[in-house]
Amino acid sequence: MSLHDCRLIDLPRITDVRGNLSFIEGGRHVPFDIKRVYYLYDVPGGETRAGHAHRALQQFVIAASGSFEVILDDGSNRRTQALNRSFFGLYICPGIWREMVNFSSGAVCLVLASEYYDEADYIRDYEAFRAYARRRE
């Protein structure tokens, strides 16, 4: 997998003067069945989260409130994706190092995951990740 496989996905929007609604269906709006949902909140403004990769896990990351940026790295290339609207999200494929940075005050990061939590799936050391990425090539 490479950075080209990571992409923004627009979500359906139903607009209404009383408030808008977006929804997500696993296998339809995201390219996997959803097995886990978690969210980050009360992250101090400007703080960094993540700093790891997954061997098999796929994720869909949404700025449910506020904004933050996701730095993506496939071992050869890096790019930064801003997330600041709740009607689109970032699909992150397996084998991509990710860091979440520049959280706005009060931001909520919602993450949909393709697998249940498995510590063995994590690569938490960047140099170990780079070695893993070279082996995949």
Instruction: Assign 52 to helix, strand or coil.
Output: strand
Give every strand in the sheet of 122-123, ordered side by side.
78-83, 68-73, 97-101, 49-54, 122-123
Residues sharing a CB contact under 8 Å with residue 76, sequence separation 6 or more, in sequence order: 2, 133
Whether 54 is catalytic is no
Distance CA 15, CA 103 (A): 26
Give SS3 for 126. Answer: helix
Name the active-site residue from 4, 29, 52, 54. Answer: 52
Which of the residues are catalytic? Answer: 52
